[in-house]
Amino acid sequence: MKTAGLTLVAIGLTGLSLGASAQDETPFITLASTTSTEASGLFDAIIPQFTEDTGIDVRVVAVGTGQAFEIARRGDADSLLVHDTVGEERFVEAGYGTERADVMVNDFVLIGPGGDPAGISEAESVAEALSRIAEAEAPFASRGDDSGTNRAELRLWDAAGVEPGGEWYRELGSGMGPTLNTAAGMDAYVMSDRATWVAFDNRQDLALLFEGDEALFNQYGSILISEERHPHLKHDLAEQWHAWLLSEEGQQAIADFTVKGQQLFFPNARSD
């Protein structure tokens, strides 16, 4: 009886092992990307379509763009999808990536209390809007996390000739969702990507007050990681993901994604 019992246990363990092995054999890549693409629900919409087309799963690590770059530099991600074109080009030039391509675009918007104490809704440019906030010393919540949004925000302050600081300027070190929550709680101005704002529900008195300036253009790019630097990565699978994003199928999947009836990302991969 003891032998039979041990045999049954062994069979059971073997079955579990085979099941785990089969699950582990499902091909996947690790994608380092931004909180805006994850929080908006984009990946929940397009990754299943990619998996259906290719049999490859995509496991997303959603962080700020600066952190995503660092993860990729360490060789802890097979692919990158971020939104800091200047940083992306430097990443490739430094030899960490082998190819970068435009994938899609949306825009940034300025959010603030409905009463708009700094009057930014009357501004003719984002530079004027930010100058009005600084002159009024109206509370401004900044992500302060080296994300693509934070990097873009700092470039816009610089273009406006403003060095933000003092009690009115709060650097939070948070993702976009938590930063919007903080702005809602303190009736502060904040810059957000449109996708996260549309998907955000805890608005309280916040309202979209300024949009449409070309300087608020927000480009996303896909990058292949260098095989020479990180030969252990799944480069063949990552190349399929990269190619699919740029393909007619991938671009259509991005275009079809909506939240509350709004298209949030606009595909702009180049056909050449």
pLDDT tens figures, 10-20? 334 344 333 44
Read off the pLDDT band of 38 (50, 70, 90): confident
pTM of the model: 0.84
For 75-85, b/e burial (b = at least 16 CB within 10 A) is eebbbbbbbbb
Structure confidence by residue, pLDDT tens digits, 70-86: 999 999 999 999 999 99
Domains of the chain from N-terminus onward:
2-106+217-267 (3.40.190.10), 107-216 (3.40.190.10)
Angle between helices 248-256 and 235-246 (to 10 degrees): 60
**Burial status of residue 54 (CB atoms within 10 A of its CB: 0-12, 13-18, 19 or more):** middle
What's the whole-number mean pLDDT along residues 133-162? 96
* Residue percentage of the chain with pLDDT more than 70: 90
Q: Give the mean model confidence (pLDDT) for residues 94-102.
A: 97
* pLDDT tens, residue by residue, 165-194: 999 999 999 989 999 999 999 999 999 999
In the prediction, which pLDDT does 36 show? 85
Mean pLDDT on 89-93: 97
In this prediction, residue 67 carries a pLDDT of 95
SS3 for 123-189 is CCCHHHHHHHHHHHCCCEEECCCCCHHHHHHHHHHHHCCCCCCCCCEEECCCCHHHHHHHHHHHCCE
pLDDT of 155 higher than 90? yes
Helix (H) or strand (E) holding 250: helix 248-256
pLDDT score for 24:
56
CA within 13 Å, CB half, 39:
21
What is the average pLDDT score of the chain?
91
Portion of the chain with pLDDT greater than 90, in percent: 86
